[in-house]
């Protein structure tokens, strides 16, 4: 069949978006892999299909695939792109909701930027000593829709994102689901810089929205960072994480950043 798609990116994390409101597309994992392939396909970190929300709990829903064909519960940068895609197809400018594997996400538009309201963060674990090939390291973790490990590093440029990222991503400590891995440098002005090794892409991406969010919340928890936190990502963009703290719990967690169309096309699958 011929698939019509939009190619988009959110802070350099790139995606293929497909209108599947009529549910005619049945994507198999190997087709997702083929479409995301950077030499043999369109090239992307993931694919989102817009579908009707059958549960009736939200305005829309998505099916999300990583570039290795695995299904992910949530994607922060993808969510902003999805919001712009829905806006383009339906003309909506006001806040709306969509259902993901992690729960209901809200989306709203601030001029060029998009804000998404995430699901309540869960499974916060701090300062767990994890034995790695470089020795035991304190690793923090938080699920912001998908699981994230967070390590603080003095200089993100020198972080061993590929080698250590891969090791932690599949470490027994995070089994069976594995984890995304974020290397976080604290910048002087209450901001942070984050580099992420992404599960399901199995490499470093130019940004990871849920990873940025987990890194910001853990910076707040451990180092007193205040909302909103500015986060510099590997692609050079700035994302913003805002939240409320209520008795040691984070609420009303929001991620704001860019979501850009790159091109439209048709591909036979």
Catalogue the active-site residues.
Answer: 75, 208
Q: How far apart are CA 100 and CA 146, in angstroms?
A: 11
> Can you tell me which of 35, 42, 48, 75 binds ligand LBFN2T5F, judged by CB under 6 A?
75
> Can you tell me which of 6, 9, 13, 141 binds ligand LBFN2T5F, judged by CB under 6 A?
13
Q: How far apart are CA 214 and CA 121, in angstroms?
A: 8
Q: How far apart are CA 246 and CA 244, in angstroms?
A: 6
- Find the helix packing angle between 76-90 and 209-223, rounded to 10°: 130
* CB closer to ligand LBFN2T5F, 13 vs 31: 13
Q: Is there a binding annotation on residue 202? A: no
> Can you tell me which of 208, 233, 241, 253 binds ligand LBFN2T5F, judged by CB under 6 A?
208
Q: Is there a binding annotation on residue 189? A: no
200 binds ligand LBFN2T5F (CB under 6 A): yes
Q: Is 111 exposed, middle or buried (0-12, 13-18, 19+ CB in 10 A)?
A: exposed
Q: How far apart are CA 27 and CA 63, in angstroms?
A: 9
The nearest distance, CB 114 to ligand LBFN2T5F, in angstroms, is 12
Q: Is there a binding annotation on residue 180? A: yes
Q: Is there a binding annotation on residue 210? A: yes
The nearest distance, CB 141 to ligand LBFN2T5F, in angstroms, is 12
4 - beta bridge partners?
266
259 close to 7: Cβ distance less than 8 angstroms? no
| Beta strands 135-143 and 147-152, pairing class | antiparallel
146 close to 199: Cβ distance less than 8 angstroms? yes
Q: Interface mask (CB under 6 A) for ligand LBFN2T5F, residues 146-185, using x and -?
A: x---------------------------------x-----
Interface residues toward ligand LBFN2T5F, by CB under 6 A: 13, 66, 72, 75-78, 146, 180, 198-201, 205, 208-210
Give the residue ranges of the annotated binding site for substrate. Answer: 13, 66, 76-77, 180, 198-199, 209-210
């Amino acid at each position: 069949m011929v698939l019509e798609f939009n190619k988009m990116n959110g802070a350099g994390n790139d995606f293929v978006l497909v209108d599947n409101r009529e549910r005619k597309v049945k994507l198999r994992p190997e087709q997702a892999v083929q479409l995301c392939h950077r030499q043999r396909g369109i090239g992307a970190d993931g694919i989102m299909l817009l579908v009707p929300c059958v549960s009736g709990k939200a305005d829309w829903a998505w099916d999300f695939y990583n570039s290795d064909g695995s299904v992910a519960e949530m994607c922060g940068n993808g969510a902003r792109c999805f919001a712009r895609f829905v806006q383009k197809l339906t003309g909506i400018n006001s806040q709306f909701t969509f259902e993901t594997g992690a729960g209901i996400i809200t989306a709203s538009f601030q001029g060029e930027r998009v804000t998404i309201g995430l699901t309540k963060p869960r499974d916060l674990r701090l300062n767990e000593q994890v034995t790695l090939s470089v020795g035991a390291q304190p690793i923090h973790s938080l699920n912001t829709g998908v699981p994230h490990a967070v390590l603080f590093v003095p200089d993100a440029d020198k972080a061993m994102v590929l080698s250590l990222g891969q090791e932690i991503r599949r470490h027994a400590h995070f089994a069976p689901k594995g984890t995304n891995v974020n290397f976080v440098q604290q910048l002087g002005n209450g901001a942070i810089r984050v580099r992420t090794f992404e599960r399901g892409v199995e490499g470093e991406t130019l940004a990871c929205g849920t990873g940025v969010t987990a890194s910001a919340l853990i910076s707040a928890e451990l180092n007193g960072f205040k909302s909103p936190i500015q986060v510099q990502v590997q692609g050079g963009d700035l994302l913003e994480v805002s939240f409320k703290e209520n008795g040691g719990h984070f609420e009303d967690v929001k991620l704001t950043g860019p979501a850009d169309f790159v091109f439209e096309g048709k591909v036979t699958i």
